[in-house]
Structure 1
Amino acid sequence: MGRVLTSVEVGHPRTARRNASPAEVETRLQGRRVEAMGRHGKFLIAPLDDGYTLVAHLGMSGRFSIAEPSEDLPAHTHFVATLDDGRQIRFVDPRTFGFVAAFDEDELADTGLARLGPDAWEDLPDAPELRRSLRARRAPIKALLLDQTVIAGLGNIYVDEVLHRAGIHPLSPGGELTEERLEPLLAGVGVVLSVAIESGGTTLDDLGYLLPDGRAGENLGHLAVYGRQGDPCRECGTPIERMVVRA
């Protein structure tokens, strides 16, 4: 926060797809000071000193790193911003599902950010509020928790962990869950995310997620069910089964 983006390079058109072109992203960001850093759900949001807002999303495989210019660029580095202290912010995204964009006020209003649900970490709803948003919805609760308009910020790993912790089957229709059933679910969101954040996040075997300094997150060992198909449940000993849940 407070740093100036002295130069910006976008190396892949998909990384800039939320703007007109890579050149537009570069022009809008270069020379701008980052006034603040924020987040809502899975979106990173940074207001700039000229009224534009930098918005980024990691997609499935994206990650930001902080590096010295002398360090080799990793493969699939599609965005590099050099700061006024000489360091670089790099965005590595092998599958190019993520993006980096710069929006003016009107464009920002059209991005869909306003349609996001309450943030899972900072603004988690209580049971009555969540019950109202799920009322009459027949989709499986897992699919609904992945719907970012219900609660923003939960992904596949943590939804599995939350449902297991709450003792709720992933295929349970969301609209049938009572407030009494939703209370342990919401409590589980807080616990699961707290442990994950304290552990630096979940780095899987593919190393698709790393911390900005290149270290692996250490939450994998805390997972009770995700990625453990065939292993015994630590609570009851029953072998864990994998299933695909669709909305």
Structure 2
Amino acid sequence: MPELPEVETIRRGIEPHVLGRRIGRVVVRDPRLRWPVQPDLPARLAGRRIEQAARRAKYLVLHLDNGDRLLIHLGMSGRIWVLDPTVAPIKHDHVDIELDSGQLLRFHDPRRFGAVLLWSAGEPHHELLRHLGPEPFDPAFHGDYLFELSRGRSAAVKNFVMDGNVVVGAGNIYAAESLFRAAIRPTRAAGKVTRAEYVELASRIREVLNEAIVRGGTTLRDFAGATGELGYFQQELYVYGREGEPCRRCGTGIRRKVIGQRSSFYCTRCQR
């Protein structure tokens, strides 16, 4: 599914097309998403101007001129495209948001696990965002924070950093790559990782995510950015998806182990 770098890539892709633009007609073809589209969404969006295109975790957040915000989540297979209105909709094109520029935003979601929801100005916190941990680029995220939060935890360190209540954005691919760069085996208990190791891991998480954003994300299956471009961070993966292949550092065969129902990849020599 799209992770933080992919969503940030999309945010950057749509930003120049939506900033300052006023919303015209909104077409909802199928409201039956994981969180159903509100029936009054078209009426409440019409005429509003988009003042900011932001991101929180894996949610796109469009700030409107009346204080409302539009939350967009891509679920497992969702996409949002900037298109000319003459482009005919295809199957699973659920929502169109027409702009006064003559373009439109089109939300496409085959599995319907995503969301297009209005967040009212009167709600200081949205339920979907309330319990999220800090952003990886936020000053609140650092090694000491991870160390203190991890004390007494027996869960694998990979599951710990993938927990969105701990930090957002360290999805399966990026957690595996960050742990490799930090030389920490993903199976180790979170409570057994040292403070110094967490300082290194926090730095590596930021490093990996930043590199992935610069490269447009990781194209696995069908991810594409807002204008259809493909990410290419997958060309630089050290461990993820490379079971049996030689480690790019030491030549040892990469191992795969299921941790928390997710495939995890690591080098038995480089990671301890």
Provide the TM-score with structure 2 as the length reference: 0.83
Amino acid at match of 1:200: G
2:171, 2:32 → 1: CA distance?
22
Asked if 1:242 corresponds to 2:256, the answer is yes
* Corresponding position of 2:182: 166
**Contact 2:66/2:121 (8 A) holds in 1:** no
* Corresponding position of 1:73: 89
**Contact 2:187/2:259 (8 A) holds in 1:** yes
Q: Percent identity?
A: 38
Runs of 4+ with deviation above 6 angstroms: none
2:247, 2:88 → 1: CA distance?
43
Structure 1 unaligned spans of 5+: none
* Of 11, 21, 24, the match for 1:3: 21
- State which drifts further: 105-114 or 230-239: 105-114
Asked if 1:82 corresponds to 2:72, the answer is no
- Pairwise CA distance, 1:214: 0.6
* Corresponding position of 2:30: 12
Q: Equivalent residues in 2 for 1:167-182 (5 A)?
A: 167-182=183-198
Pair 1:199–1:127, CA change in 2 (3 A): same
**Contact 1:33/1:49 (8 A) holds in 2:** yes
Asked if 1:104 corresponds to 2:120, the answer is yes
2:97 aligned counterpart, secondary structure:
strand
- Pairwise CA distance, 1:13: 2.5
1:113 aligned counterpart, secondary structure:
coil
Pair 1:74–1:200, CA change in 2 (3 A): farther
**Contact 2:216/2:231 (8 A) holds in 1:** yes
Q: Equivalent residues in 2 for 1:1-247 (5 A)?
A: 1-15=19-33, 17=35, 21=38, 23-107=39-123, 109-123=125-139, 125-204=141-220, 206-207=221-222, 209-246=223-260
**Contact 1:16/1:25 (8 A) holds in 2:** no
2:203 aligned counterpart, secondary structure:
helix
1:97 aligned counterpart, secondary structure:
coil
Q: Highest relative contact order (Cα 8 Å, sep 6+), 1 or 2?
A: 2
1:196 aligned counterpart, secondary structure:
helix
- CA distances 1:33-74 after superposition (whole Å, capped 9, x unpaired): 112121121121122122221111111111211111122334
1:113, 1:220 → 2: CA distance?
29
**Contact 2:119/2:126 (8 A) holds in 1:** no
Could you say what the CA RMSD is over the residues aligned between the two structures, in angstroms?
Answer: 1.9
2:176 aligned counterpart, secondary structure:
helix
Structure 2 unaligned spans of 5+: 1-18, 262-272
Provide the TM-score with structure 1 as the length reference: 0.91
